[in-house]
Structure 1
Amino acid sequence: MVEEEFNVYIEDSEGNIIVDKTMTSLENGFIDFWLPRDRTYLVRIEHEGRMVESEISTFEEDATCITTMQF
């Protein structure tokens, strides 16, 4: 999904909103996020009436590239 607009919402485990905006995917189809380490987040992404939601974390052993959130 190259250069498509997505509504992105990211909240940490304490309820702090980290991202709440419309973002455009890059030429490679990815959206880049830099999130603080050692936390857990709820990520919700919406596109053309579809929504996907997942919990991700940024602890030392966690993946730095997540590609499993598919519509």
Structure 2
Amino acid sequence: MVLDDVVTSHANGFIDLWLPRDRKYNVMITHEDKVVESQLSTFEGDNTCITTMQFL
């Protein structure tokens, strides 16, 4: 586990989270009764900015 904590987003809704390279992650973000989950990785050639997770 890399982070299991309360994080406050910036005013624009984004968060900064630096992850170790060459790993795969399962990401879950919760807010009140909403949950969003996604997988991401930090291998060479992977995106360095993820903007696809959103609450619906």
**Deviation at residue 28 of structure 1 after TM alignment:** 2.7
How many positions carry a matched residue from both structures? Answer: 55
Residue identity opposite 1:65 in structure 2:
C
Per-residue CA deviation, residues 16-53 of structure 1 (Å, 9 max, x unaligned), is x1000110001232101000000000000001210001
Unaligned residue ranges in structure 1 (runs of 5+): 1-16
* Percent of aligned pairs sharing the same letter: 64
Superposition TM-score, scaled by structure 1 size? 0.74
- Give the strand-richer structure, 1 or 2: 1
Runs of 4+ in 1 over 6 A off after TM superposition: none
Say what the alpha-carbon RMSD is for the aligned residues. Answer: 0.7
